[in-house]
Structure 1
Amino acid sequence: MSALKWQGWLVGLLVLAGLLVFAPLGLYVWASGDPAPSSPTVAAGSVRVTGCRIDPASRRVVAGVEATGQGSYVVTVEFRDRAEPGPGVRSAQSLVSIPGVTPGTPERSEAIGPVWPPATTPWCGVAHTTRTEAAATPGGG
């Protein structure tokens, strides 16, 4: 056989070996990527944003958050310049803890966001909520 024919076989085998090594790696990286973010809702369960304003002194966004029900809540509040997120846009977020919520009595807190640019109206919403049940008191009662 000629040298040119052997070089063709060699190139073909190298391409096949590269596919066998790198294709599974590429599939693994692709499959383990972050899931697409879901758009947050203004109310998540028994937690809702009651207000969204800009503090005049600090120019930071302040969101009023209210929780009803029972238990303790950790709420992720999201701040954007419009209600619908744009493609690939990351939003500012803040965590708020609302402990000891009892039935029939709503508890309120405020989430402090980033410094907001002038002449832009902020949008505040609940991105995620985690609730833990109130622990029973020892000794009954």
Structure 2
Amino acid sequence: MALKWQGWAVGLVALAGLLVFAPLGLYVWASSPARPPAASAPPPEVRVTDCRIDPASRRVLAVVEARGGQGSYVVTVEFRDRRPSLPDARTSRSLARLPGLTPDTPPARTEAIGPVWPPSTPPWCGVAAVAPEPTHD
């Protein structure tokens, strides 16, 4: 009869230990410092070299040029109707992809296509952000 209760006692002690130490282990794991990010190449130098309105489509076209960097990048180009960003300024954004940059290659160029623009307002184009292109594993 004692052996029958001994199995239950061992099971209950194991379950109690699991209920106590599992949250403690999760807490220690979650509060451990994150690994430092891997060293990566510096981001490329990106600038807008031309900002114009396409006469046929009336869309803003920005020519984006990038030098340096390593890998592929996504550039966010901003289009505004005034150089300083004012509360009433018209703004729009577009993404442009710069694939396969290396420090040794000549500058890479691509175009960012913006919105249809009113004919009486000259556009202003600028780089809002540069980010590495996400990798798909």
Question: Do the two structures share a fold, i.e. TM-score over 0.5?
Answer: yes
Q: Which residue of 2 aligns with 1:53?
A: 52
Q: Which residue of 1 aligns with 2:97?
A: 97
SS in structure 2 at match of 1:82: coil
TM-score when scaled to structure 1? 0.59
Q: Which residue of 1 aligns with 2:12?
A: none
Q: Which residue of 2 aligns with 1:65?
A: 64
Write the mapping of 1:62-141 to structure 2, written as runs, cut at 5 A. Answer: 62-69=61-68, 70-87=70-87, 89=89, 91-104=91-104, 105-131=106-132
Q: Which has the larger radius of gyration?
A: 2
Taking a change above 3 Å as real, the CA distance of residues 45 and 103 of structure 1, as seen in their structure-2 partners, is closer
Q: Deviations over 1:79-100 (max 9, x none)?
A: 0011101126562000001100
Please report how far the alpha carbon of residue 131 of structure 1 lies from its aligned counterpart in structure 2 after TM superposition: 2.7
Q: In structure 2, list runs of 5 or more residues that go unmatched.
A: 1-42
Could you tell me the percent identity over the aligned residues?
Answer: 65
Whether the 8 Å contact between 2:79 and 2:91 is mirrored in structure 1 is yes
SS in structure 1 at match of 2:64: strand
TM-score when scaled to structure 2? 0.60
Taking a change above 3 Å as real, the CA distance of residues 89 and 119 of structure 1, as seen in their structure-2 partners, is closer
Whether the 8 Å contact between 1:77 and 1:111 is mirrored in structure 2 is yes
Rounded to whole Å, the distance in 1 between the matches of 2:124 and 2:89 is 14
Q: Which amino acid aligns with 1:107?
A: A
Rounded to whole Å, the distance in 2 between the matches of 1:78 and 1:110 is 13
Q: In structure 1, list runs of 5 or more residues that go unmatched.
A: 1-43, 133-141
- CA RMSD, aligned part only? 2.2
